[in-house]
């Protein structure tokens, strides 16, 4: 609904309310005003209750994020919590380079994780034989048609081999 439509709808509603009130009996008017007074008296209490409920929720959220253990935290999941900002979850960029094998690693990854501190030496990959090389390079006309098939094939095997 546009702003003009909303303004028009509000003006129509105000006119209808005015008509209803002019036709209203004094008994109905007193009752309506009494209910209105009760609602306005209860409004601050409702506001405080709502604020307390929101504050309690915020405290639960904060407690959930400051817990040292994440055990069974998935069962208390809340969409309002930014879990990825937690220091135990934000592992940072993969910008550490192993001095032995030049593997990219995360900051707190153990030093021997990739090559066992240089004890394991990886052989360099050999170029694949033709016509696989041509297909992988993607320069031929056949590669243009074959590559999507290979990607789908690898994807399906990856899904079933986990
Ligand atoms: Zn390494």
Please report how many Cα atoms fall inside a 13 Å half-sphere around the Cα of residue 38, on the Cβ side: 6
CA of 70 to the centre of ligand 1 (A): 30
pLDDT in tens, 44-67: 788 888 888 888 877 776 666 666
68 pLDDT higher than 50? yes
How far, in Å, from the CA of 118 to the mean position of ligand 1? 6
Rounded to the nearest whole angstrom, what is the distance from the C-alpha of residue 80 to the centroid of ligand 1?
Answer: 39
Q: Considering only CA atoms, which of 139, 144, 101, 138 is closest in space to residue 120? A: 101
Residues counted in the chain:
162
- The rounded Å distance from CA 100 to ligand 1 centre is 5
Going from the Cα of 122 to the center of ligand 1, the distance in angstroms, rounded, reads: 10
The fraction of the chain above a pLDDT of 90, given in percent, is: 9
Pick the range with the lowest mean pLDDT from 29-33, 36-40, 91-95, 135-139.
Answer: 135-139
How far does the chain reach from its first CA to its final CA, in angstroms? 50
């Amino acid at each position: 609904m546009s702003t003009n439509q909303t303004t028009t709808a509000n003006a129509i509603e105000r006119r209808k309310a005015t008509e209803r009130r002019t036709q209203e009996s004094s008994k109905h008017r007193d009752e309506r005003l009494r209910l209105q007074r009760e609602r306005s008296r209860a409004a601050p209490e409702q506001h405080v209750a709502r604020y307390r409920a929101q504050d309690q929720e915020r405290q639960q959220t904060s407690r959930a994020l400051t817990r040292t253990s994440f055990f069974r935290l998935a069962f208390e999941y809340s969409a309002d919590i930014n879990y990825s900002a937690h220091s135990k979850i934000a592992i940072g960029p993969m910008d550490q380079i192993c001095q032995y094998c030049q593997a990219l690693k995360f900051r707190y990854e153990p030093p021997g994780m990739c090559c066992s501190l240089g004890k394991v030496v990886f052989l360099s990959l050999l170029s694949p034989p033709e016509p696989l090389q041509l297909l992988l390079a993607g320069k031929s006309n056949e590669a243009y048609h074959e590559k999507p098939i290979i990607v789908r094939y690898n994807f399906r095997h990856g899904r079933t081999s986990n």
